[in-house]
Chain A
């Protein structure tokens, strides 16, 4: 569902229409989940962030100024929810957060072991990347989102998406080169 068709739903949501809000959740939750997943890097945490996002969105629906910008508005709420959760995790004494979700299965052979080690290196390099670089890179390269979709999701101009992606790729490449 595109920006134009979301605007009437956003407007009706702002007026307190639960049916419109339901449709808005259906139309946007996948994008919000992808963002939350790469912010939290944990499926359960991402799910909690998505729920928290829509709870806050419904409670603060009156704050939505531009119905055409409902996706960036939701993504801002999601990023704030994710930051709150990460802060909460950091304050916990037993910071046993689940490790980053890995694409690699348990290695069975040497070649797989090498691949798994390299994947772990990439994840460590991602860890030290700034949040804005990491998220934009993963949305583009792993989620295969278009520049336009990323721009809409993050509420950024297209030019900023392109330049930020370029810097993010360069930053990750330099960190991986150093490890070689």
Chain B
């Protein structure tokens, strides 16, 4: 419980660097700079380019609102961290919702596509199965664990991961090791089914 109090307190420290204020030109520049990363991570999670684009646009819409709105707090402490966190939160939540609603439909769709592949149908089916399984594992993990794996796989340093998830850099190694264990356990469970 107290950790939550401390966490809240830490997030309220004044911005020290990397903060962003409003302005259309600045926003355009931010967009150009960060869109590939944001889209990349949402596409990795969701797999569908249209869905990933839609969700990534939502992330930048929220960024736009913060920067252009008349709220007193218009600065974002660490933009890259904020973008990654927003993108992974929204995408993982979408994945979990999708998993609940359309599990079998998605799987059927994926396999239909693979079966219609002319060149390497068996390999394509296996790759399709793997993607479905990995996404199912991520959707079923604790959000923070899934985020850790995704952010680390995207190439963020421990410091960047810590900023994105609002944890201490010294904790990233421990949490990452545990997230990997959890991933493998869950993967094996699904593989066995």
Q: Do A and B come from one complex?
A: no
List A residues at the B interface (Cβ < 8 Å): none
List B residues at the A interface (Cβ < 8 Å): none
